[in-house]
Amino acid sequence: MLSVRLDKELEEELEKLAKRTKRPKSFFVKEALREYLQDVKDVLEAKERLSDPKRELLTLDELKRELDV
């Protein structure tokens, strides 16, 4: 279990959305957190790949040829 304190404006916005959609506030908090954590993971993975000396880079033209676009 986790408790989170929200500022007044964010709490009000969340409350309105929950009422409007008839979903619990926790649904939106969980979804937002899930998306945020995935974004952070993606950024970290991108940084790791950039620092990998074995990475293979393609130019835009090479990528277009590979994708046949």
Domain-wise residue ranges, the chain: 8-67
Positive/negative CA dihedral, 17, 23, 29, 31: negative
pLDDT digits 0-9 by tens, 20-38: 999 999 999 999 999 999 9
pLDDT at residue 47 in the model: 92
Distances (CA, A) of 41 to 6, 14, 21: 24, 25, 29
Structure token digits, residue 8: 């007044």
Residues 5-39 as b or e (16 or more Cβ within 10 Å = b): eeeeeeeeebeeebeeeeeeeeeeeeeeeeeeeee
pLDDT for 50 equals 87
pLDDT along the chain (69 residues), means of 10: 95 98 97 98 93 88 93
